[in-house]
């Protein structure tokens, strides 16, 4: 890890402290989050994370209302496979 020093205007710092407090974090964490977001790997990770969340949401919606008792029994499943 590398440490960096950043100089900002007093008003910018005050606004950053307020934003950090609203997010229950520190100004340092906000700056780190921003810098990490500039990384191409981070952007790809965030894209994949959003894609996964959307897919999980879709799958949960499709499963809604289904219960395990509606599934085929093992015998029914194998019987259906034998008919193919």
| Cα 35 from Cα 43, distance rounded (Å) | 11
Structure tokens that stand for 21 in this block:
């407090």
pLDDT of residue 65: 58
pLDDT of residue 11: 96
Q: Is the pLDDT of residue 84 over 60?
A: no
Higher per-residue pLDDT: 79 or 70: 79
Place of tokens 């809604």: 64
| Cα 30 from Cα 23, distance rounded (Å) | 9
Q: Is the pLDDT of residue 30 over 60?
A: yes
- For all residues of the chain together, what is the average pLDDT? 83
Residues in the chain: 84
Place of tokens 């952007």: 43
Q: Is the pLDDT of residue 16 over 60?
A: yes
The whole model's pTM is what?
A: 0.48
């Amino acid at each position: 890890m590398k440490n960096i020093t950043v100089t900002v205007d007093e008003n910018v710092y005050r606004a950053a402290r307020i934003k950090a407090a609203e997010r229950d974090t520190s100004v340092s964490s906000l700056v780190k989050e921003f810098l990490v977001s500039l990384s191409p790997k981070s952007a790809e990770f965030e894209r994949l994370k959003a894609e996964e969340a959307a897919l999980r949401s879709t799958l949960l919606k499709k499963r809604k209302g289904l219960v395990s008792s509606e599934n085929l029994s093992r015998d029914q499943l194998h019987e259906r496979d034998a008919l193919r």
